[in-house]
Amino acid sequence: MHNFEPTTAAAWARLAAVQPDTYARTRNAIEGAVTRLSPYISHGLLGLRDIYDYLNARHPLDAKHKLVFELGWRAYYHHVGAHIGDGLHQSLHTGVLPDDAYQTEMPTDVLEARTGVAAIDMAVRELYSFGYLHNHARMWLASYVVHLRKVHWHAGAQWMLGHLLDGDVASNHLSWQWVAGTGSVKPYVFNADNVAKYAPAPWHSPATVIDTSYDALDRLARSVTAVDHRMDGRFAGGGMAQPPLMHAPPDARWLAPDAALAAGRDVCLLHPWSLGAFSQPVNTDALFIGVGFSEMHRQAPWSARRWNFVTEGLLARTPTLWWGGLEAIAQALQGARSVGWQPQAPANAVLDNLRAQLASGDPHPRVSATTERALFTPVEPYCESFAKWWRLTKLAL
């Protein structure tokens, strides 16, 4: 169904298949013509500007096109992330209930896709099977988890983040907050009619807790009591095994930093968010090293599927992979002639620290880190709403 091969060629092939006008008409439907570009965007195989330039050259896209607008949401979430940093992990404002009204563990029946609400069980299965979920299904899943099961949005966001191949803290955590009502003016709720309108039959959820009116669901969202999910009666059956959460990549594929390898060389670092970087290397003798910093993953483990995507993507570029702590990697790079990476990963304090550590050595390598070619002009005042940011930005063409 949705297979994502972590290579630049696969990313561009998928881009070539995008039909902007069909997208605009059908994007809300689970089986609509969405682009499925997100894993390639999050892992640096395609930038927003690449997407726009390619599509605009074939089907002129004005700034109001639905697809440009959706790319704008990603850019906006990164605008927020750049301003609030670790604040992404806190509620932006109080929601319908105080933070401590929610539990901090994901319920087992949700994790195992056996809530009895078909829309939720299908969404969890798709998430585990493909590492991808349609936007509407993400909204339904987040809404059910937060408003009906009373799980804090952050617990749900961390769980989903680890399973999505496109997992991106800014887009993920701010979307969960939008659903929860801590980043929007009201809680997002959905009902069985909405599912029936946008999803195929196996997702339909008649006679379940969501088969009610929006007013009733809004009241449930504002109540401190979680729904008794056993009210849903029959279970979907079969069940999912507990997902294979891995706290580190497959050891056998990863080598320890080796300073001798980098000594005197121009090093091009490829990190998990820049799988497509250096399509034109700085020189023919440059050494490509794929790096994974354990600091980046301590708080938010990834599923085996996501690790495979990233590891395969790095291996497609170089056989040399280093996995470890920032300090060990910085030390092993100290003797290089130059170290470069592109682009700077979103809100990535670890790469900023790497730059500082490399600069503090004596002698130290020349360091160059580039930023992505922007699609939208930067907006300086911090905008608390997408609407405000959208009014102030323009296409940076």
246 to each of 46, 268, 298, 306, how far by Cα in Å? 26, 27, 11, 10
Place of tokens 């790497």: 354
β-pair type (302-303, 245-246): antiparallel
Number of residues counted as binding ligand FAD (CB under 6 A):
29
> Which residue, 42 or 274, is less far from ligand FAD as judged by CB?
42
Decide whether 51 or 358 has the Cβ nearer to ligand FAD: 51
Figure out which of the listed residues 162, 167, 181, 365 binds ligand FAD, where binding follows CB under 6 A: 167
CB nearer to ligand FAD: pick between 172 and 357: 172
* Binding span for ligand FAD by CB under 6 A among 69-77, 322-330, 349-357, 385-393: 69-77
Nearer to ligand FAD, 103 or 360 (CB): 103
In sequence order, the 6+-apart residues with CB closer than 8 A to the CB of 80 are 88, 170, 174, 382, 383
Please report whether residue 372 would count as binding ligand FAD according to CB under 6 A: no
Supply the minimum distance, in Å, between the C-beta of residue 303 and ligand FAD: 13
272 closest CA partner among 245, 244, 256, 295: 295
Task: State yes or no: residue 12 binds ligand FAD (CB under 6 A).
Answer: no
**Does position 37 bind ligand FAD by CB under 6 A?**
yes
Cβ nearer to ligand FAD, comparing 40 with 341: 40
By CB under 6 A, residue 38 contacts ligand FAD = yes
Nearer to ligand FAD, 123 or 268 (CB): 123
138 is an interface residue for ligand FAD by CB under 6 A: yes
CB of residue 178 to ligand FAD, shortest distance in Å: 7
Report the residue number, 36 or 271, with the smaller CB distance to ligand FAD: 36
CB 138 within 8 A of CB 150: no
Contact pick of 34, 68, 124, 289 for ligand FAD (by CB under 6 A): 34
| Interface region with ligand FAD, contact rule CB under 6 A, candidates 131-139, 213-221, 280-288, 369-377 | 131-139
One residue of 52, 77, 128, 190 binding ligand FAD per CB under 6 A: 77
Residue 73 binds to ligand FAD (criterion: CB under 6 A) = yes
Q: Which residues pair with 340 in a beta bridge?
A: 268, 368
> Using CA atoms in the order 23, 28, 30, 34, what is the torsion angle rounded to 10 degrees?
20
CB of residue 339 to ligand FAD, shortest distance in Å: 28
Residue 359 CA to residue 366 CA, distance in Å, equals 8
Q: β-strand 321-324 against 338-341: which pairing, if any?
A: unpaired
Does residue 175 bind ligand FAD (CB under 6 A)? yes
25 phi and psi angles, rounded to 5 deg: -80, -35
Q: Which stretch binds ligand FAD (CB under 6 A): 52-60, 136-144, 206-214, 288-296?
A: 136-144
Burial environment of residue 306 by CB neighbours within 10 A (0 to 12, 13 to 18, 19 or more): buried
DSSP SS3 for 171: helix
Give the relative orientation of helices 135-143 and 169-180 as an angle to the nearest 10 degrees: 50
Among 109, 112, 121, 168, which residue interacts with ligand FAD (rule: CB under 6 A)? 168
Question: Does 351 interact with ligand FAD (rule: CB under 6 A)?
Answer: no
Q: At 285, list the tokens.
A: 């003798």
The C-alpha R_g of the chain, in whole angstroms, comes to: 22
Contact 251, 320 (CB under 8 A): no
DSSP 243-285: P-EESS--GGG-B---HHHHTTSEEEEE-TT-TT--SS-SSTT
Q: Is 41 in the site for ligand FAD (CB under 6 A)?
A: yes
Angle between helices 48-58 and 66-84 (to 10 degrees): 170
Q: Should residue 163 be labelled a site residue for ligand FAD when binding is judged by CB under 6 A?
A: no
The stretch among 170-178, 262-270, 334-342, 350-358 that binds ligand FAD (CB under 6 A) is: 170-178
Contact positions vs ligand FAD (CB under 6 A): 27, 34-38, 41-42, 70-71, 73-74, 77, 134-135, 138-139, 142, 160-161, 164, 166-168, 171-172, 175-176, 179
